[in-house]
Structure formats: C-alpha cells, structure tokens
Amino acid sequence: MKTGRVGQLTVSVSVVILVFIILTLNFVVKEDKKDQQLGQLVENKQPLSLIPDFASISLVSDKKKAFFEYLRPWIRLQNGIIKEERQFLQDSLQHLNNGLALTEAENYHIEEIATKYKYTPRIINIATIETLLIRTDIIPESMVLIQAANETGWGSSRFAKEGFNFFGQWCFKKGCGLVPQSRTAGMSHEVAVYDSVEDSVASYMKNLNSNAAYALFRSIRADMRAENKEPSADKLVYGLVNYSERQEAYIDELLEMLRHNQQYLVGNNEKKPSV
C-alpha cells in the first residue's frame, strides 16, 4: 500500500511538472513572436525628429522667433568659449610684449587652441599668437542664425530633424552621416550627423575659423578688428562665397534674409539686432 501511494504521488508530481513545462514553452514562443513583431515595427518606423516641429507652427513670425530662440543659447555658448580663448591669447601676447616668458601652462593652452583651429606654429612667439588670433574670434550671432535658417528651411530639413545638422556640413567617410537624396552622381559625401545642437554649432564655428575655404571670411573679420570695429554679419557674409556652389547668389540670398528678418534677430531685451 505504501509503495502504491508513493507511485501515485510520483505520477501526480510528474504530471504537474509536465504541465508547467508545456505552459512555459507556450509562453516563451508567444513572447518570441511578440518580440519579433515589435522588432519589425521599430525597424520600419520612420525616425523621430530630434528637434521641435517648427513646420507645424502656422504663423510665420512665430515660427521664426521659435527657431531663433531655439538656437540662440547654443550660439552664445560657443561664442562665449571663443571669447575666453581669445582673451587668453591676448593676455599671453601682452606678456610677450612686456618681455615676460610664457609659463609651461600658457604654452600648453596655446597649443591646445592652435590644434583646435588647425594651426601648427613651429614656435610660440608674438607672430604666431597674432596669427592664431585671426582664427580665434567670434562668429556674429545674426549670421549664424540666418545661415541656419537658410540651410534648414527654418528647421524643417531632414538633416536638422534627424541629425542636428543646421549648417549643411558634409562628412566624407561612408556611413558617417545621412546620404542626400539628391546627391549628384559620382559624389560620395554624406551630411554629417551630430549628437546635439551644441555639437553642430561648435563644428560650424570651428569650420569657419579653420578651413582654408574661409580665409577671406577671417581676413575681413581681422581687418574690422584692426579698425576697432566689432565683426558684423552684413560685412562678414561676403567671406562665405565658398560655402555654397551658388557662391554670389548664396551671398545675395543671405543678405536678403538678414534685411528681412532684423526684427526676429533681436534676442531677449536687446534694443538692436545682434550682428
């Protein structure tokens, strides 16, 4: 009798275990199918915009204000960084002009700034710092805002929405960015993708301050500095002739946008546009 009861108990336990295994396998299969379906949905889903939907703002004036206010803090942040770099170089230059030797820390920081703006001096002296100061200077806020509006159609472009690219900057390694849908046959460039608005603005400013294509831009700015004038968008925009294949037509378009959007270029409590 005892053996019979043990046998019945063993059978009962076996049945319970078997049912549990069947239910578990069934659940796993269903979950796998569910995951596969979800994976398919994610894979086929259109990329979400990384920035506000400016195109949905029906009133043009509101759209322009929103776009400019979205970018303005990041432009001011980068210009603030550049101002600090420039002030450091000017202080170091003053030390040399006063017959003082630069410290090891000063030399190291000057080399850092030079590397950032793709300038390689053989030695650090008065002449090299003066040359580096031509590259280490701010970009007028109004010019940055207008170029961003022009390059992105007021924030509506695919490159701005998917890659934080507000200035149409290219990259040249396969897979480095977004492939333009209208790319000319034989061309291999892509439109660069950035992790943030800050990175996009920083890359754009470094490009203007270092790329050989914008030597004219830097020369105009340096001439204005030599005349004790603050760099302004309406003058510096002529230095962007190589920014677009359209060249002079591109410059004319930017100037027209500057004239027509002065009221929106005023930020916060400023009494006049930042140029």
Give residue-wise pLDDT tens across range 153-180: 999 999 999 999 999 887 767 767 666 6
Q: Indicate the range of 23-32, 56-65, 105-114 predicted with least confidence.
A: 23-32
Helix (H, G, I), strand (E, B) or coil at 146: helix
Chain segment 44-73, per-residue pLDDT in tens: 334 557 899 999 999 999 999 999 999 999
* Dist CA 75 CA 261 (whole Å): 18
Q: Which of 165, 170, 175 is nearest to 201 (CA)?
A: 165
Helix (H, G, I), strand (E, B) or coil at 229: coil
Residue 152 and residue 50 in contact, taking contact as beta carbons nearer than 8 Å: no
pLDDT at 174: 77
- CB-count burial class (<10 Å; 0-12, 13-18, 19+) for 28: exposed
Q: Average of pLDDT values for 242-264?
A: 96
pLDDT at 185: 58
Q: Does residue 37 have a pLDDT over 50?
A: no
- Looking at residue 33, what is its pLDDT? 43
- What's the longest Cα–Cα distance across the chain? 113
Which pLDDT does position 181 carry in this prediction? 62
Kind of pairing between the strands at 177-178 and 170-171: unpaired
* pLDDT over 70 at 122, yes or no: yes
What pLDDT sits at residue 173?
74
Q: Are 224 and 195 in contact (CB under 8 A)?
A: no
Q: pLDDT tens for residues 191-211?
A: 899 999 999 999 999 999 999
15 φ/ψ angles, rounded to the nearest 5 degrees: -60, -45
- pLDDT value at residue 113: 98
Question: Mean pLDDT, to the nearest integer, of 123-128?
Answer: 97
**Is 268 a residue whose pLDDT tops 60?**
no
Mean pLDDT of the chain: 83
The one-letter amino acid code at 206 reads: K
Average pLDDT (120-136) is: 97
Amino acid (1-letter code) at residue 125: N
Instruction: Categorize the per-residue pLDDT at 232 as very low, low, confident or very high, splitting at 50, 70 and 90.
Output: very high
Q: If pLDDT is split at 50, 70 and 90, which confidence band does 267 have?
A: low
pLDDT score recorded for residue 191 = 86
State residue 266's pLDDT score: 80
Higher-scoring residue by pLDDT: 104, 245: 104
67-99, pLDDT tens digit by residue? 999 999 999 999 999 999 999 999 999 999 999
pLDDT at residue number 177: 61
- Assign residue 79 a region: left if phi > 0, alpha if psi is -120 to 50, beta otherwise? alpha
Q: What pLDDT score does 170 carry?
A: 73
Torsion of CA 162, 167, 170, 175, to 10 degrees: -10
Average pLDDT over residues 121-136: 97
